[in-house]
Structure 1
Amino acid sequence: MATSIFTRKLDLGYLIYFLTHIPIMFLMDLQALYPTHLTPSFLATIKTYYISTYHDIFFISPPIYFKLFIWLELLVHVPVSFWAVGGLLRDSPYTPLILLPYALEVFLTTLVCIHEYLYWPIPLSQKIDLTTLYGPYILLSIIMFIDMFIRLSHIISSSPSTSSSTSTSTSAHKSDKNNKNGKKTKKIN
């Protein structure tokens, strides 16, 4: 039986993140991919409010690479986010395998966005406002990456095949080395 999500504090934090990130993606981030004639007016209102509040140029005049980031959000974030909700709730052993590359992708794309807006010709106060939005994604992705890396490292180091394959590999290497030096090796049954 899975350990309760309420006893796994980091997983609970990740679950809350994914539960809030899913609607944000569909309500705001992915709008750039929606056909204009099919976009509900309330979504346009949300986007207008966001732009007027945060002056986020990514949603006004996006750089060429930003469309790629939106597609990554659709093709990576959406499926991983839906999987993560269930995976975290059932304490899936696949969680670190899926969330490690996800965390790296979130970190890199968010870092590119932060680097970009730091050079925008906008007041420092607006850059600080943008950092309050983008900064938590950097922080969460770093925490998630380190956490998932540690989990995978523990799984790999505690795997019985890891220790036996290491000793087998070492024995085979010694045997090969002895054969190259012209020594006969004794086969142990």
Structure 2
Amino acid sequence: MNGRDKFYVAYFVMHLVISVVMDSGAVIPEQYQFGLQRQLNQFHIEQNNDLLMAAPPTWLKSFLWIELVFQVPFFVIGAIGLCKGCKKTYPLILVYCVEAAVTTFGCLAEVSFMDALTTSEKINLAAMYMPMVLIPVVMGIDFYRRILSWIPGKEKTQ
């Protein structure tokens, strides 16, 4: 496994934990959450004034359900696939990259234009959201190029 793939596996594992512990708290009813999960979410909201997570709009809840239903199982499949060198997971990784970059960019854009946040709070939240946009974009380009290499070039016509 190359260095990039090791990074991607670490990213998938880290994001799996964030998805299950933090992000799910915005859509799972409080009575079904673990105490630590509620505490971490409350801490994050208070420390960072993350208004999106404090009162998630319907569009964000739909993105978070996609994260729980698609991304959480994907993180396991993607990490195992990369560890085993299974190229059959590459198209799924590319789908994840597009989905994650687009949905997280939507959150980043929303936060950037919130009048209720100070410039400092916007910068702080952008610093948290931006890696979750940039890493999937870079990974998506990487996997697009890998998949593209499977397609034979045009044959020369005579």
TM-score with structure 2 length normalisation?
0.92
Partner of 1:65: 59
Alignment of 1:20 onto 2:14: yes
Partner of 1:142: 137
Counterpart CA distance in 2 for 1:143 and 1:124 is 27
- SS of corresponding position for 2:142: helix
Unaligned stretches of 5+ residues in structure 2: none
Partner of 2:108: 114
Spell out the pairing of 1:95-106 with structure 2 (5 A cutoff). 95-106=89-100
- SS of corresponding position for 1:156: coil
Larger radius of gyration: 1
* Paired-residue identity, %: 28
- SS of corresponding position for 1:157: coil
- SS of corresponding position for 1:120: coil
Alignment of 1:127 onto 2:126: no
Answer whether contact 2:26 2:56 (CA < 8 A) is retained. no
Of 145, 150, 158, the match for 1:155: 150
- SS of corresponding position for 1:148: helix
Partner of 2:42: 48
TM-superposed deviation, 1:40: 2.1
Alignment of 1:85 onto 2:85: no
CA RMSD after TM alignment? 1.7
Q: Deviations over 1:93-143 (max 9, x none)?
A: 113211111100011001111111111121111111111111001110111
Partner of 1:39: 33
Answer whether contact 2:30 2:38 (CA < 8 A) is retained. no
Q: Name the count of aligned residue pairs.
A: 156
Counterpart CA distance in 1 for 2:148 and 2:61 is 35
